[in-house]
């Protein structure tokens, strides 16, 4: 993960981070990354781990990563307890997020610091979060708190995290009219020297995504658009009783691949331009 962040910083681009819950979405992410010859992050949330099983989802993702023709990283997204982070690190994850954003500042600092200290034993990368997004990762409502630049800088200094997820108007669930505060992002980027991360990006316009990258966002998470594409792909074919279920799932996988490809092109405009010119 560290190498991907460093590369994104040097090129002024962002690493695409895509949440997966099953084999077909995983295959779609890998296929899109290979098609464009771009790196990507494959993310699993605690809910995805609960659904698939930790050993099962880890084995599935690592098999895909080991066979992929481009660099891919497995990342724990929104780890909400020390225990889930520890379990992921022990099984082999080398990039984890601890989300203590809803905790009081002092508690968020102390819990995140514990995760950072544990991760060092595994030579693992840690993402923290400061500020609260209006809607949680699984859709639950939250009292949004935009990230304060000075608080963000203090949090980074006290915890030693490698990257920082922030709240600047981004919202999980792709709500209509989602908009980010670019001026606030500029202030946070000036105050914080580590890579910045944006969750809840599925509802943002292409222009907002590009503006975010231009002003310091180096990792962008996409989940809702993948779920929507997969659901649409299934709904198109599921009524046809003559189709094998594998054909239905394959069509859904192709729809997800198109979405991943689109986002990778947006996040890596400089790189995709270079590739097309070679």
Which pLDDT tens digit goes with each residue over 217-262? 999 999 999 999 999 999 988 888 888 999 999 999 999 999 999 9
Q: For the domain that residue 78 is a member of, what is the CATH number?
A: 3.20.20.70
| Tokens at 240, concatenated | 């046809």
DSSP-based three-state secondary structure for 193:
coil
Give the whole-angstrom CA distance, residue 37 versus residue 71.
Answer: 9
> Which has the closest alpha carbon to 205: 233, 227, 167, 175?
175
| Cα three-residue angle 55-93-136, rounded to 5 degrees | 90
Give the whole-angstrom CA distance, residue 198 versus residue 192.
Answer: 14
Which pLDDT tens digit goes with each residue over 11-57? 999 999 999 999 999 999 999 999 999 999 999 999 999 999 999 99
Which pLDDT tens digit goes with each residue over 136-174? 555 555 567 899 999 999 999 999 999 999 999 988 888
The answer to whether 247 is a known catalytic residue is no
The residue length of the chain stands at 278
Percent of the chain clearing pLDDT 70 (strictly above): 93
Which pLDDT tens digit goes with each residue over 59-100? 999 999 999 999 999 999 999 999 999 999 999 999 999 999
Residue span of the structural domain in which 252 resides? 2-277
Of the CA atoms within 13 Å of residue 64, those in its CB half-sphere come to 26
15 DSSP β-pair partners: 219
Give the whole-angstrom CA distance, residue 7 versus residue 14.
Answer: 9
| Tokens at 253, concatenated | 């996988």
The answer to whether the CB of 112 falls within 8 A of the CB of 159 is yes
24 DSSP β-pair partners: none
C-alpha distance from residue 175 to each of 36, 51, 100, 205, 240 (Å) = 29, 25, 23, 11, 32
Catalytic residue among 77, 99, 208, 255: 77
Q: Dihedral, CA atoms, 41, 189, 165, 119, nearest 10 degrees?
A: 70
CB neighbours of 45 closer than 8 A, spacing ≥ 6? 19, 76, 77, 78, 137, 138
Supply the pTM of this predicted model: 0.92
270 confidence band (pLDDT: 50, 70, 90): low
| Tokens at 271, concatenated | 């790189």
DSSP-based three-state secondary structure for 185:
helix
Q: Number of structural domains, the chain?
A: 1
First and final C-alpha spacing in the chain: 26
């Amino acid at each position: 993960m560290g190498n991907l962040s460093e590369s994104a910083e040097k090129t002024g681009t962002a690493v695409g981070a895509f949440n997966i819950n099953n084999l077909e979405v995983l295959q779609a992410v890998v296929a899109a990354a290979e098609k464009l010859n771009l790196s990507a992050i494959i993310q699993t949330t605690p809910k995805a781990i609960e659904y698939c099983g930790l050993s099962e989802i880890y084995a599935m993702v690592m098999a895909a990563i080991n066979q992929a023709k481009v660099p891919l990283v497995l990342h724990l997204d929104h780890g909400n307890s020390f225990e889930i982070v520890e379990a992921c690190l022990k099984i082999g994850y080398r990039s984890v997020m601890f989300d203590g954003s809803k905790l009081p500042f002092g508690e968020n600092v102390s819990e995140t610091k514990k995760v950072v200290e544990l991760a060092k034993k595994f030579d693992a990368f840690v993402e923290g979060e400061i500020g609260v997004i209006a809607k949680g990762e699984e859709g639950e409502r939250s009292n949004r708190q935009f990230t304060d630049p000075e608080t963000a800088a203090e949090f980074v200094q006290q915890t030693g995290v490698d990257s920082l997820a922030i709240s600047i108007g981004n919202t999980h669930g792709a709500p209509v009219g989602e908009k980010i505060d670019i001026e606030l992002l500029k202030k946070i980027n000036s105050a914080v020297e580590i890579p910045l991360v944006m969750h809840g990006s599925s509802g943002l316009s292409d222009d907002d995504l590009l503006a975010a990258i231009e002003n310091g966002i180096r990792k962008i998470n996409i989940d809702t658009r993948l779920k929507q594409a997969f659901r649409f792909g299934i709904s198109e074919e599921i009524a046809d009783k003559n189709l094998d279920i594998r054909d239905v799932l394959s069509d859904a996988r192709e729809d997800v691949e198109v979405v991943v490809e689109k986002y990778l092109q947006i996040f890596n405009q400089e790189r995709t331009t270079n590739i097309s010119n070679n």
